[in-house]
Amino acid sequence: MESTYFKRFRMDADLTAPRRPQPLPPGYRFVAWNEALLDVHARTKFRSFRSEIDALVFPCLGDLEGCRRLMREIRNKSGFLPVATWLVVRNDAGGDLEWCATIQGVVDKLGMGSIQNIGVVPGHRGCGLGTSLIEQAIAGFRGHGLRRVSLEVTADNSRAVRLYQRLGFRRAKTVYKVVEPSAEAPVYGASISSVGSRLAEPVCP
Ligand SMILES: CC(C)(COP(=O)(O)OP(=O)(O)OC[C@H]1O[C@@H](n2cnc3c(N)ncnc32)[C@H](O)[C@@H]1OP(=O)(O)O)[C@@H](O)C(=O)NCCC(=O)NCCS
């Protein structure tokens, strides 16, 4: 089987210009990072990404154990930044906590802020959570004294690209992520080649 290439944009934004915090819609609230919430981030990430294109690009995002591993990796990075790492929660009709969205931030080796993954659980999208969560993480990066923030997004993820552009992110670079066919990805193994043939562009030699 052939490898698949996914086109991705590296986007960045200036943090020195004034910005307006975006309040959450009524009923939702932010929850700051603490160590006990690592698994909540992993589960919220899984529920946000499992049916999305990024679960093809990064198969670990389509798997709960993969999301747990990824969260531990992010947490253990030397630049992990708790003030740029947030959850969004609300109480459901029965009063139980409903975890709706997650974002994590790190400081990269060049001293630039880096958004790792932002995910909003289906059913809570299109009402401003993504916007508020990015502004909340950006406030954390700014408070930490950082001047720029970057992220990577799959080119075909037009909803996410639009969101980032609206919030001042601009395309800095195009990269390609190669996904090798894997016998360990039976859930998505069939779809990788079909989606890939539709979405991916070959890397020019
Ligand atoms: C991309 C993603 C994070 C966006 O989250 P979201 O909560 O839907 O984002 P928002 O609600 O802030 O913005 C989405 C749209 O809703 C609109 N919107 C925001 N608040 C609104 C409101 N109160 N009423 C109506 N529409 C609203 C926005 O204008 C925006 O429109 P656009 O798509 O034309 O730009 C979410 O779709 C997601 O989790 N996707 C899967 C995971 C993923 O791909 N993550 C990105 C990885 S790089």
Is 125 a pocket residue for ligand 1 (Cβ < 6 Å)?
yes
Domain assignments of the chain as residue spans, ordered by start = 4-199
CATH topology for the 4-199 domain: Aminopeptidase (3.40.630)
Specify the ligand 1 atom closest to the Cα of 120.
39
* Pairwise pLDDT comparison (32 vs 92), residue with the higher score: 32
Which of 127, 129, 152, 167, when mutated, tests ligand 1's pocket best, judged by the most ligand atoms within 8 Å of its CB?
Answer: 127
pTM: 0.90
Helix (H, G, I), strand (E, B) or coil at 100: strand
Mean pLDDT of 68-92: 97
Q: Which of 78-82, 89-93, 181-185, 193-197 comes out lowest in average pLDDT?
A: 193-197
For the chain, give the number of residues: 205
Residue 181 pLDDT: 83
Measure CA 135 to chain center: 14
Residue 128 — very low, low, confident or very high, per pLDDT cuts 50/70/90?
Answer: very high
pLDDT digits (tens, 9 = 90+) for 34-73: 999 999 999 999 999 999 999 999 999 999 999 999 999 9
CB 155 within 8 A of CB 198: no
**Atom 23 in ligand 1: which residue has the minimum CA distance?**
127
pLDDT at 171 over 90: yes
Q: 105-125 pLDDT, tens per residue?
A: 999 999 999 999 999 999 999
Ligand 1 binding pocket includes 166 (Cβ within 6 Å)? yes
- DSSP-derived 3-state class of residue 71: helix
